[in-house]
Structure formats: C-alpha cells, structure tokens
Structure 1
Amino acid sequence: MTQADLFQELKSLGMPVAYGEFQTEQQLPFITYQFAYGSDLMADNHNYVPIGNFQVELYTKSKEPATESLVQEKLKELRLPYSKVEAWLPEEKVRQIIYEIQLIGG
C-alpha cells in the first residue's frame, strides 16, 4: 500500500483528511496522517525493503467510540496492524487518538 492509497482509504470514512495539517479550520471529527520515521529492512549495506512508520491521528470533540471503531475497522480491513495512543489536548479542547502503522514497500 502506498501513501496515496492510505489517503484514499481514509477519505472513504467520510471525514476530512489531510497530510500533516489542514490549511483551514475543520469541523470535528477529522483525520491527519504523516510519516513519522523509517525502519527499512537492511542488509549488506543496502535498503532492501522500505518501511515507513506513519501516524494516523483522529481528532474528536470528546470520547467517540463509534468514530474510533470506524478508523480501527478500516485499518483492520486494510490489514494494517496498529498501536493506539490517546490524549486530551486542553489548548485545543479536542481528543487525539494516534494510530501508529507501517507501510511496507510503498
């Protein structure tokens, strides 16, 4: 799966999606995603398989299990294992859910 494929799949959830950040104010809920770091498969001084670690970030006004479930089911459907971290951002008054995933070869 490529980064472009990931974008299209996230858009299919019916929420605004952007890489990194939006240039305009968005209504909640919305999703951002971004490359976090690489952990390519390497041997013999060569990068054999590119592995990109991405963060898919869901922003909601409050705890929304149904919305989280939409994102999680999409990641499962795409066979993208994830780890999940949650935080309340008091300055913005939003809940942030970060799903860490890997795109292999894309």
Structure 2
Amino acid sequence: MTVKELAQELKTLGYDCAYDHFNTTPTLPFIAYFENERTDFIADNKVYRKQQNITIELYTEFYEPNISEQLEDLLERLGIVYDCVPFLYIEDERMYMSSYSFSL
C-alpha cells in the first residue's frame, strides 16, 4: 500500500483529512497523516526492503471512542498493524488527539 492509497482509504471515513496540515481550520473531528523517518532493511550494501513509517492523528472535540473505532476498523481491514496512543487532551486547543503509528 502506498501513502496515496492510504489517503484515499482515510477519506472514506467521511472526516476532513489532510497530509501533515490543513491550510484552513477544519471542523472537528478531522484526521492528519504524515510520513516519519524510513526504517529500511539494509544488508550487504543493498536495500532489501523500503519501509515508510506513518503517523495518523485523529482529532476530536470530546472523548469519542466510536470515531477511533471506525479508524481502527479501517486499519485492521487494510491489514495494518498499528500502535495507538489514545485520547491525549490538548488543553491549548481544547481537543483530544489519538495517534496511530505503523509502517507501510
């Protein structure tokens, strides 16, 4: 799966979705996703597998586990194994963020 294909799948959830950031303030809930460092498998002076690390951030106004479950169901349906940091409250922004990290 590519990052572009992942973006298309995320949009099927029906929430505003953008790579890295939005140019205008979106309505909650919304999703931002971005690429982190790559962790390629390298041996014998050869790259055997390119592995891109991805983070998806889900922002909600309230504690809304049903929205997180929608995202988690999508990732699981796509066969993506992820780590989740759920429902961190961002006091300055008055919203919650759940973060999902995985490799493609």
What is the TM-score normalised by the length of structure 2? Answer: 0.96
1:42, 1:71 → 2: CA distance?
Answer: 32
Residues 42-73 of structure 1: CA deviation (Å, up to 9, x unaligned): 11122111101100000000110110000000
Question: What does residue 68 of structure 1 align with?
Answer: 68
1:96, 1:36 → 2: CA distance?
Answer: 18
| Other structure's SS at 2:53 match | strand
Question: What does residue 90 of structure 1 align with?
Answer: 91
Number of residue pairs the alignment of both structures matches: 103
Which structure would you say has the larger RCO, counting Cα contacts within 8 Å and 6 or more residues apart? Answer: 1
| Other structure's SS at 1:72 match | helix
RMSD: 0.7
2:66, 2:23 → 1: CA distance?
Answer: 27
The percentage of counterpart residues that share the same residue type is 36
| Other structure's SS at 2:6 match | helix
Question: What does residue 11 of structure 1 align with?
Answer: 11
Matches within 5 A, 1:1-106: 1-86=1-86, 87-103=88-104
Following TM superposition, where does structure 1 have runs of at least 4 consecutive aligned residues deviating by more than 4 angstroms? Answer: none
Q: Structure 2 regions of 5+ residues with no counterpart?
A: none
